[in-house]
């Protein structure tokens, strides 16, 4: 039964967001509910368990469809490939205690969701909670809407006007009831809950069914062993979940209860606990260190924040207040990518505040609880996004194959036992027993321990994974995006030189380090003030570029100074003064009045500074091309472009400097960024050297040898990035480099793409997919980097991103495909075997191979090599057992009725001592021993062969090179395997009457036992030979693919294949715009083969 979206029954939740869901309305029906309860009782809870696994069935059977407005139950479905369902109950909350009349709710809230959610005259609010987020029913738009956030439609001026004075008590109380407390509450889950949740896993329910069946068949030993393995698996899983729950609880609990100061409308300042905060509250930030308990928009003053908890960067970040722009654009749209410069994030630490002329530093609460940036991070851990739909789909197909296999075996078993006249109960038990064999009992334990072992190996290398299911995808990576500065190159920058400009001409270059200091002038002042540095814990902290630049002046920061300005009163400002080693300066110091922090979108930063006793000036630094465009043309040297190309082509990082004088009468706080950053005077170029890290080139060479494409994604200049890419080996010396520049066409929504040959410097227009061929992507903002990764993924690349703080490339977890199928074959051949601790639990102890290979593990669970390996090993095992079953019947000592015909001495001894042994079947003569149907030469032969064959399968499937180290390096696995083999051989050759009798074995001649060892040896040799000569023979599979003209289904491989057939590629002297129609596989896109990456890792 599926969903048929109808009017008002269906809607979308969080449309366009990552956690987008479809929501359906249902109403509980009493008679259906009563029938289901009766079904729960009659099925002994089985129906309830089924509904626990399939919540959509629960809703469909218990409820009837209705509009969302009438619904008391909603069914949610994710919009990803998995389409996971969840069931939520609608609740009602009352706000009547806070709203006695309409006058109690101000008119300013009419456009707010907090007003639109209140049903009149009942004053009730309809709400649901999904993944820790509260949603309320919007009475006007007839849909559920998220609360706990400040609506996005507010403009900059509206935020200042509506929330600049704070909320009233009534407004605050109503919002608190709807939003819930401002806490990121992650309680430690009780062990009994974790245990129940784990035990109710379908795997373990099936295990319980299997164990009960085996006990009924008196198969005690095997059942006890499986119980032990299952308990071990459950214990490991519960222990790991409990440990993670405790860690997460400790991580977030410290920020849940902080004393804060808020401003109440008409009531002044008020101290309260942070969990009372609601969106729209006006937060007062006092001097000193403060932990942020929510996300907030800075509306006055300036802050310096430590965001290391969220970003991993220890560099302090400067936050400036939201401008009071009088426009109709929502504030996020107006601020574009720079909106983060105005937002203080939950969990970060304010280490310094600077008030402006408006008094104290204020911030409007933007988001609370799990809606905050920190809350979103915690939710991503609590509710990880499912990964690898292809593996999930293949696993379902494989399971269907197992069910079909079990069904065939079940039908055969029923027919055989029914024809032999067995009792109905025995027939049922034997038929069900076949089903228990289809799903290997060791699978849950093997999956759990495999992930845990892998996480531990990664942790030892300093790699932490918050989403363990992503580990299985790491072996499929075929493209890695690298940031440049701090990742491929060293974290710090070294000043190389300064190229000043005066009167439209570049002057002599000033090299660093130099015997003489920089001369006093505008360039010197720019280096001294154009930064966002602070003094924190006695040290100058900030961006490494700013630190190096400021240290070159030998000045110091006096961060405790107050600045007195006429008409503004006293404000906190940063003052820089000459240090002890500084050259003589004609000023006492320079005060930094205002900062416009660096913007990745604008590619520049600027400050307003004033010499003590002088006039204010503006200083700007940023990307040279950007700075030059903002300067007056007469101040920019005519050879600007050639000089810039000269230094960037050598791999230097180049920064442009500029300045302008400001009118003394206008206060700095009243100036906009556009006014400050216009009509500038060009000052020169600051040249900085950024060296490659020692590990960069070897790592990139290893990736290249493994046919893993490397791409550089940087915000730096394209020429600098190309030089670094060449030095690092990402671009070979023999390769031709083509520059591609995207430009917005004036007066049009289209964009043009221009291609330039780097060597010839001629403009050529090409048609291509840049993603398929680009190696260096420069001048990329953070959001563009994220978009680039997503676009690569759309081409079916498996992408890894390596940026600052994530430079460890040593983690190479192994693919689990062989591992899963190994467990399955183990289960298929284990029928009538002694219970062993499955070696599959120990395979994960084998470490990763120290070198990457130029192809990937199979990405599909049912890929031809894996499937063929499973089928062939199953056939080998089956053939050996059938051969032993048939050949034993041809032996001269074989007897179907006398199980002691092979060992007469043992037979006589058993007859004479039957009364003393008291063994079943022996006490009343030899004939009765054959009546139980278990003790026979066939069963003894097949059992011994299949038991040792399990060890053969374990050894054959425990592959080493190329993805793992040789299996003999896994000492625990080898010791267990040798121990189990020793026990098997002991059982085969030990003539211990009591042991054989208890295990329903019979004595066979020594020659036959040696023959069985020979059969096993032949099987082992054939299995190894086939695995090495066929399954692991990569040239053979590539030949087969070429013979049958198999082509990869990956989008990027198909594009490459199409362009190889395009004789007209590349087109010359053509211009392409964003609204042009290009060619693809389907006829609307295009691309060509990238000479720097020609992978042959197609999945087999």
Positions marked active-site: 483
Q: How far is CA 285 from the centre of its chain?
A: 34
The answer to whether residues 672 and 696 touch, using CB atoms and an 8 Å cutoff, is no
Q: Measure Cα distances from 455 to 232, 448, 469, 810, 845 in Å.
A: 18, 11, 10, 13, 12
Give the whole-angstrom CA distance, residue 414 versus residue 179. Answer: 61
What ranges in 389-543 are assigned the alpha helix state H? 389-419, 424-438, 443-460, 522-529
Q: Measure Cα distances from 50 to 42, 43, 44, 234, 525 in Å.
A: 14, 11, 12, 21, 73
Q: Measure Cα distances from 660 to 577, 613, 619 in Å.
A: 21, 18, 7
Give the whole-angstrom CA distance, residue 945 versus residue 939. Answer: 10
In 3D space, the residue among 557, 566, 813 whose CA is nearest the CA of residue 667 turns out to be 566
- CA atoms in the 13 A half-sphere facing the CB of 141: 14
Q: Which residues share a beta bridge with 272?
A: 260
Name the burial class of residue 537, with classes exposed (0-12), middle (13-18) and buried (19+) by CB atoms within 10 angstroms of its CB: exposed
In 3D space, the residue among 530, 493, 496 whose CA is nearest the CA of residue 683 turns out to be 530
Instruction: Give the contacts of 277 (CB within 8 A, at least 6 positions apart).
Output: 182, 260, 262, 283, 293, 294, 365, 368
Q: Measure Cα distances from 505 to 495, 499, 684 in Å.
A: 22, 10, 9
Give the whole-angstrom CA distance, residue 42 versus residue 882. Answer: 45
Q: Is 710 helix (H, G, I), strand (E, B) or coil?
A: strand
Give the whole-angstrom CA distance, residue 286 versus residue 533. Answer: 20
Owner of token pair 């964003």: 1074
Q: How far is CA 823 from the centre of its chain?
A: 27
CB atoms within 10 A of CB 666: 11
What six digits make up the tokens of 782?
Answer: 């953070």
The answer to whether residues 108 and 162 touch, using CB atoms and an 8 Å cutoff, is yes
Rounded to the nearest 5 percent, the helix, strand and coil shares of the chain are 40, 20, 40
């Amino acid at each position: 039964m599926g969903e048929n979206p109808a009017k008002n029954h269906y809607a979308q939740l969080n449309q366009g967001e990552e956690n987008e869901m479809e929501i359906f309305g249902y109403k509980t029906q009493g008679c259906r509910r009563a029938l289901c309860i009766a079904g729960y009782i009659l099925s002994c809870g089985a129906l309830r368990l089924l509904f626990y696994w399939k919540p959509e069935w629960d809703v469909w059977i218990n409820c009837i469809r209705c509009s969302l407005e009438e619904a008391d139950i909603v069914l949610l479905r994710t919009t990803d490939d998995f389409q996971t369902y969840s069931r939520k109950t609608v609740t009602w909350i009352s706000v009547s205690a806070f709203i006695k009349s309409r006058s109690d709710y101000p008119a300013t809230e009419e456009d707010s969701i907090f007003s639109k959610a209140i049903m009149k005259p009942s004053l009730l609010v309809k709400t649901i909670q999904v993944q820790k987020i509260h949603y309320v029913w919007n009475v006007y738009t007839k849909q559920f809407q998220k609360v706990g956030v400040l609506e996005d439609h507010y403009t900059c001026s509206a935020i200042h006007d509506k929330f600049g004075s704070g909320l009233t008590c009534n407004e605050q109380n109503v919002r608190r009831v709807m939003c819930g407390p401002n806490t990121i509450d992650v309680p430690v889950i009780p062990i009994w809950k974790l245990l129940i949740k784990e035990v109710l896993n379908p795997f373990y329910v099936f295990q319980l069914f299997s164990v009960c069946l085996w006990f009924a068949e008196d198969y005690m030993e095997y059942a006890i062993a499986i119980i032990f393995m299952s308990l071990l698996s459950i214990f490991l899983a519960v222990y790991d979940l409990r440990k993670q729950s405790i860690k997460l609880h400790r991580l977030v609990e410290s920020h849940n209860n902080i004393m804060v100061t808020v401003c109440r409308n008409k009531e002044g300042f008020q101290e309260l606990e942070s969990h009372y905060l609601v969106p729209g509250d006006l937060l007062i930030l006092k001097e000193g260190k403060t932990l942020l308990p929510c996300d907030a928009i800075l509306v006055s003053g300036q802050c310096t924040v430590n965001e290391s908890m969220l970003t991993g960067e220890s560099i302090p970040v400067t936050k400036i207040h939201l401008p009071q722009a009088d426009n109709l654009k929502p504030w996020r749209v107006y601020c574009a990518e720079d909106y983060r410069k105005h937002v203080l994030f939950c969990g970060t630490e304010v280490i310094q505040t600077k008030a402006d002329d408006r008094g104290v530093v204020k911030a409007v609460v933007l988001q609370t609880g799990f809606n905050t940036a920190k809350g979103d991070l915690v939710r991503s851990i609590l509710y990880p996004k499912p990964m690898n739909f292809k593996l999930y789909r293949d696993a379902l197909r494989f399971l269907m194959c197992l069910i079909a296999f079990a069904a065939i075996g079940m039908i055969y078993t029923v027919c055989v036992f029914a024809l032999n006249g067995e009792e109905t109960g025995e027939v049922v038990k034997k038929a069900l027993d076949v089903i228990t064999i289809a799903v290997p009992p060791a699978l849950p334990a093997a999956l759990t321990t495999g992930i845990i072992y892998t996480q531990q190996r990664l942790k030892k290398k300093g790699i932490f994974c918050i989403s363990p299911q992503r580990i299985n995808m790491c072996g499929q990576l075929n493209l890695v995006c690298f940031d440049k500065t701090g990742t491929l190159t060293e974290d710090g920058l070294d000043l190389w030189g300064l190229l000043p400009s005066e009167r439209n001409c570049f002057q002599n270059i000033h090299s660093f380090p130099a015997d003489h200091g920089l001369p006093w002038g505008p360039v010197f002042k720019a280096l001294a003030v154009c930064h966002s540095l602070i003094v924190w814990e006695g040290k100058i902290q900030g961006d490494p570029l700013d630190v190096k630049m400021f240290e070159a002046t030998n000045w110091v920061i006096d961060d405790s100074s107050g600045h007195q300005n006429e008409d503004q009163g006293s404000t906190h400002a940063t003052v820089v003064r000459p240090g002890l080693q500084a050259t003589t300066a004609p000023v006492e110091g320079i005060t930094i009045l205002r900062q416009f922090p660096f913007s990745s979108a604008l590619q520049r930063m600027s400050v307003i500074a004033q010499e003590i006793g002088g006039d204010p000036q503006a200083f700007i630094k940023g990307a040279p091309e950007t700075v030059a465009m903002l300067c007056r043309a007469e101040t920019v040297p005519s050879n600007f472009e050639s000089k810039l190309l000269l230094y960037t082509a050598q791999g230097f990082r180049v920064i442009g400097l500029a300045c302008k004088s400001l009118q003394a009468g206008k206060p700095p706080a009243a100036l906009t960024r556009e006014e400050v950053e216009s009509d500038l005077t060009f000052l020169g170029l600051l040249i900085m050297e950024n060296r490659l890290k020692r590990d960069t080139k070897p790592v990139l060479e290893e990736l290249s040898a493994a046919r893993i494409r490397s791409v550089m994604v940087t915000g730096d200049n394209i020429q600098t990035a190309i030089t670094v890419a060449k030095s690092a080996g990402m671009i070979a010396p023999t390769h031709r480099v083509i520059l591609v520049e995207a430009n917005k066409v004036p007066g049009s929504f289209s964009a043009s793409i221009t291609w330039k040959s780097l060597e010839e410097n001629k403009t050529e227009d090409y048609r291509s997919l840049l993603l398929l061929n680009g190696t260096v992507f420069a001048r990329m903002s953070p959001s563009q980097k994220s978009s680039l990764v997503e676009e690569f993924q759309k081409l079916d690349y498996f992408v890894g991103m390596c940026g600052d703080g994530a430079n460890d490339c040593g983690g190479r977890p192994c693919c689990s495909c062989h591992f899963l199928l190994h467990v399955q074959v183990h289960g298929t051949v284990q029928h009538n075997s002694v219970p062993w601790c499955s070696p599959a639990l120990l395979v994960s102890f084998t470490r990763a191979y120290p070198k990457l290979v130029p192809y990937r593990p199979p990405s599909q669970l049912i890929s031809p090599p894996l499937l063929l390996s499973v089928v062939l090993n199953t056939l080998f095992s089956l053939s050996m057992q059938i051969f032993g079953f048939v050949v034993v019947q041809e032996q001269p000592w074989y007897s179907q009725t006398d199980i002691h015909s092979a060992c007469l001495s043992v037979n006589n001894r058993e007859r004479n001592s039957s009364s003393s042994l008291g063994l079943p079947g022996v006490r009343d003569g030899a004939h009765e021993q054959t009546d139980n149907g278990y003790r026979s030469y066939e069963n003894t032969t097949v059992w011994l062969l299949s038991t040792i064959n399990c060890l053969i399968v374990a050894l054959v499937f425990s592959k080493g090179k190329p993805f793992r180290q040789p299996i003999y390096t896994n000492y625990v696995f080898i010791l267990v395997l040798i121990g189990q083999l020793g026990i098997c051989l002991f059982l085969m050759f030990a003539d211990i009457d009591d042991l054989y009798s208890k295990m329903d074995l019979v004595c066979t001649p020594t020659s036959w036992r040696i023959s069985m060892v020979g059969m096993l040896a032949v099987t082992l040799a054939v299995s190894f030979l086939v695995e090495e000569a066929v399954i692991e023979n990569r040239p053979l599979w590539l030949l087969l693919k070429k013979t049958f003209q198999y082509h990869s289904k990956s989008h990027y491989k198909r594009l490459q294949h199409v362009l190889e057939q395009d004789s007209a590629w590349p087109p010359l002297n053509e211009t392409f715009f964003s609204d042009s129609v290009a060619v693809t596989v389907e006829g609307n896109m295009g691309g060509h083969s990238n000479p720097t990456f020609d992978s042959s890792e197609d999945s087999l």
